[in-house]
Structure 1
Amino acid sequence: MWCIMCKRVFDGPRVTLEEMLEARENRANIQQQLLLSNVQASLLVVTMNIPGPVKYSPVLAQIFQQMVEEIDEILDQQKVLVSRFCELTTGMEYYLLVDIPAKQLKEQMVALESHHPHGRLFDLDVLILQEQLPCPISRQELGYPSRRCLICQEDAKVCGRSRRHDIQQMQQKISEIIRLEKE
Structure 2
Amino acid sequence: MRSQLWSKLKKRLDNLTCDSLKGRVGFTVTNYRKAHDQMGRAFITVDKKEVLNMCTITSDIRINRKEREIHRINDISYDDYQKNHEISVTAHELVKKEGIYAQYDFYDAVEEFLNMPIEKALKSDDMVIKILALIDRRIGKRTLHLLKESIQQELEIIQYFYHLRCEAEQIEYSQRPGKLKVY
Q: Could you state the TM-score of these two structures normalised by the residue count of structure 1?
A: 0.29
Relative to its length, the structure with more strand (as a share) is 1
Q: Could you state the TM-score of these two structures normalised by the residue count of structure 2?
A: 0.29
Using CA pairs under 8 Å that are at least 6 residues apart, name the structure with larger relative contact order, 1 or 2: 1
Which protein shows a greater Rg?
Answer: 2
Relative to its length, the structure with more helix (as a share) is 2
